[in-house]
Amino acid sequence: MSSHPVGRPQSRNKLAGSLAVMAAFVSLSSSPSRAEEVSVADTVNLQELRQKVLILERKLEVKDEEAATKAADAPKFTAGPDGFVFKSADEAFQLKWRGLLQVDYRHYFDGQDTGSQRTYLGRYPNNFANTFLLRKVRPSFDVTLYKYATFRIVPDFGGGSTTLLDAYGELALWPEFKLRVGKFTAPFGIERLQSANDNFFVEYGLTSNLSRNRDIGAQISGDLLNESYSYSLGVFNGGTDGLNKDNDSTSHKDIAGRLFALPFKTGDIELVRNLGFGVAGAWGKHYGDSVNTGLPQFRSPAQNTIFQYLQGARDSVTAQAKGTYYSLIPQGYWFWGSLGLLGEYAYTSQEAWIPKKKSAVKTPIESRAWEATALYVVTGESPSYKGVKPRHPLAADGSGFGAIELVARAGQLDTDPNNTFPAFADGLKSVNQATSFGGGVNWYLNRAVKWTFDYEQTLFKGGNRATIADRDDEKVFTTRLQFAY
């Protein structure tokens, strides 16, 4: 007898041999001419052989049960458009590894590229170099613990610097109540809250200047009535509009919240099933100094600085936040068939002063912005807030074309010329109004690859030191190839 342990193939071979022997004995015992020749010893051997066969059958059953148990308890791994996913057998523990890469090319028209005068502070305000750039390079890691607890970490290596975008944990015991703590996008603008993978234009519109970016704090949120209504309410350090805030220079905190409704989501009227609208806002006390002024800078859709408050090495020449801040942002979208609309209006008020100026007085500075985006999917798919899913995506075998989406956008930003200039900003360097309009094409090759082509033109009032008049129009073409998994 072999000294090796009995494996499944050996067991099956022995079992087959035993059954053959048994069949021979049965054949002999059943033959009338040979029945009297079967001895008592042969009968005993037959019984022992039957017992061995039963034992072998049971061993095989046990091995099959053990293999099934191991397979049920084994972790699972999947790879696809949703990223690389590791799961425990009961899916109570998960790790999702995803990524986003956006490679852009910007081309400015009518710019005076003089090399040494490429800032808005120089003689020519539109001197910006045509350039390739890594706009976003974002790996993301999402971990689920015991199904109800999750945390997310998202760094960004784009733009020539390294930034920690998201780092938060969330406890989701019920869909109606979730607690999130850490650094994440505050509940403000509808465009900023949209995933960076799904934005309709290469860059945000003018309203993003008055909308909070990432901030650190604690937030409760939830979805009600089959996700027809949602709410968010949080306490945050209190970041500056448009900035990615990592710390807080004062003890004052901001309260921010958002309500959003899709009241016809579960109804039978298709025309308004994807009609959503809501409002967001914040309130707090902001105080700055000559280093951290607490006041924002504003950028054009091409990401060039078009407005900033007075700033210098001394308090006597530096505008600073001083007191109450509040904002209000009504917003909404509508999608039907191959059509879509998205828009928002943003209003902010921030008390400011120049502390050591002779006429130092606290003044509320109000800023306003609006934008509207329209889109149409030429290939017939239905657009959504989460992008377009092609009916015939480009597949691994080369079949499929993807989906084509046409987009158009208009917007305007006002920087309160009555209270801002000349006390808090230099009208020869900063504009008091910007109006933009543009259009583009989005080609969704599949869920992982998207190619965007945009042209946007922005008109300004003020902000030109060279002519003491309006800053020259900004005309920019941008294309982006995006890879997301």
Domain boundaries in the chain?
Answer: 8-73, 96-137+195-213+232-484
The pLDDT value recorded for residue 126 is 58
pLDDT for residue 2 is more than 50: no
Are the C-beta atoms of 117 and 130 separated by less than 8 Å?
no
pLDDT interval class at 331 (50, 70, 90): very high
In whole angstroms, give the CA distance from residue 20 to residue 39.
19
The pLDDT value recorded for residue 210 is 95
pLDDT for residue 368 is more than 50: yes
Burial of 421 (0-12, 13-18, 19+ CB in 10 A): middle
Mean pLDDT along residues 269-298: 93
pLDDT interval class at 120 (50, 70, 90): very low
The pLDDT value recorded for residue 250 is 82
pLDDT interval class at 7 (50, 70, 90): very low
Specify the higher pLDDT residue, 4 or 379: 379
pLDDT interval class at 413 (50, 70, 90): very high
| Percent above pLDDT 70 for the chain | 85
In whole angstroms, give the CA distance from residue 172 to residue 433.
43
In whole angstroms, give the CA distance from residue 65 to residue 335.
52
CB atoms within 10 A of CB 384: 13
In whole angstroms, give the CA distance from residue 175 to residue 157.
33
pLDDT for residue 199 is more than 60: yes
In whole angstroms, give the CA distance from residue 214 to residue 153.
13
The pLDDT value recorded for residue 39 is 63
Mean pLDDT along residues 278-290: 93
Specify the higher pLDDT residue, 12 or 294: 294
The pLDDT value recorded for residue 117 is 42
Are the C-beta atoms of 293 and 267 separated by less than 8 Å?
no
Judged by phi (left if over 0) then psi (alpha if -120 to 50, else beta), residue 85 lies in beta
Kindly give the interhelix angle for 8-30 and 40-73, rounded to the nearest 10 degrees.
Answer: 150
Burial of 482 (0-12, 13-18, 19+ CB in 10 A): buried
* Residue whose structure tokens are 């992982």: 448
Mean pLDDT along residues 69-77: 77
In whole angstroms, give the CA distance from residue 73 to residue 197.
35
The pLDDT value recorded for residue 123 is 46
pLDDT for residue 109 is more than 80: yes
The pLDDT value recorded for residue 177 is 96
**158, 155, 194, 374: CA torsion to nearest 10:** 10
The pLDDT value recorded for residue 325 is 96
Widest Cα–Cα separation across the chain:
132
Distance of CA 39 to the CA centre of its chain: 83
Q: Model pTM?
A: 0.82
pLDDT interval class at 5 (50, 70, 90): very low
The pLDDT value recorded for residue 22 is 54
Token pair of 458 as six digits: 């922005």
Judged by phi (left if over 0) then psi (alpha if -120 to 50, else beta), residue 468 lies in left
Closest CA to 460 of 250, 333, 242, 301: 301
Specify the higher pLDDT residue, 25 or 479: 479
| Amino acid type, 411 | G
| Percent above pLDDT 90 for the chain | 61
pLDDT for residue 11 is more than 50: no
Q: Round the average pLDDT of the chain to a whole number and report it.
A: 86
Helices and strands counted in the chain (H then E): 4, 22
The pLDDT value recorded for residue 466 is 57
The pLDDT value recorded for residue 373 is 98
Mean pLDDT along residues 394-404: 93
In this predicted model, what pLDDT tens digit does every residue of 186-198 receive, in sequence order? Answer: 999 999 999 999 9
The pLDDT value recorded for residue 115 is 45
pLDDT interval class at 96 (50, 70, 90): very high
Specify the higher pLDDT residue, 19 or 142: 142
The pLDDT value recorded for residue 20 is 54
Specify the higher pLDDT residue, 369 or 21: 369
Q: Please tell me the least confidently modeled range out of 52-56, 290-294, 363-367.
A: 52-56
Token pair of 75 as six digits: 């972790």
The pLDDT value recorded for residue 317 is 83
Q: Which helix (H) or strand (E) holds 334?
A: strand 320-336
Going 413 to 425 to 163 to 152, the CA torsion angle's sign is: negative
Cα of first residue to Cα of last residue in the chain, in angstroms, is 56
pLDDT for residue 347 is more than 90: yes
In whole angstroms, give the CA distance from residue 130 to residue 111.
10
Mean pLDDT along residues 343-364: 86
pLDDT interval class at 358 (50, 70, 90): low
In whole angstroms, give the CA distance from residue 324 to residue 305.
25
Specify the higher pLDDT residue, 482 or 22: 482
The pLDDT value recorded for residue 61 is 82
Mean pLDDT along residues 5-19: 49
Q: Cα–Cα–Cα angle for 418, 423, 426, nearest 5°?
A: 90
CATH topology of domain 96-137+195-213+232-484: Porin (2.40.160)
In whole angstroms, give the CA distance from residue 267 to residue 153.
37
Mean pLDDT along residues 333-346: 98
Mean pLDDT along residues 442-452: 96
Q: Is 23 helix (H, G, I), strand (E, B) or coil?
A: helix
Determine the length of the chain. 485
